[in-house]
Amino acid sequence: MLHVLGSRQLGLVTNLGVRALLGYFGAEALKVTITDPSDRRFAGKGIAIRNALLLSSFSLLLPGLYANSDRYDRFPWISDALLLTVPVLDMAGNSFDLYNDYGWFDSVAHFYGNAAVGALMTLFMAGRGSEPPLIRWLTAAGGTTFLHVLLEMQEYWTDLWFGTHNVEGLEDTEGDLASGWLGTVTGVVLAELALHGPRRGLIHAEARRLAAAMSAAFADAHPLSVAAQNLRSIRPVEG
**d(C-alpha 239, C-alpha 224), whole Å:** 23
Q: What are the backbone angles phi and psi of residue 36, rounded to the nearest 5°? A: -145, 75
Q: Which pTM was predicted? A: 0.85
- What is the domain partition of the chain in residue ranges? 2-233
**d(C-alpha 239, C-alpha 16), whole Å:** 21
Residue 94 is predicted with a pLDDT of 92
Residue 92 is predicted with a pLDDT of 95
The answer to whether residues 30 and 95 touch, using CB atoms and an 8 Å cutoff, is no
**Tens-place pLDDT, residues 145-201:** 999 999 888 888 877 787 777 777 778 889 999 999 999 999 999 999 999 999 899
The half-sphere exposure of 174 on its side-chain side, counting CA atoms within 13 A, is 3
**d(C-alpha 16, C-alpha 13), whole Å:** 5
pLDDT-flagged residues of the chain (< 50): 1-5, 221-239
Q: DSSP states of 111-132 as a string?
A: HHHHHHHHHHHHHHHHHH--S-
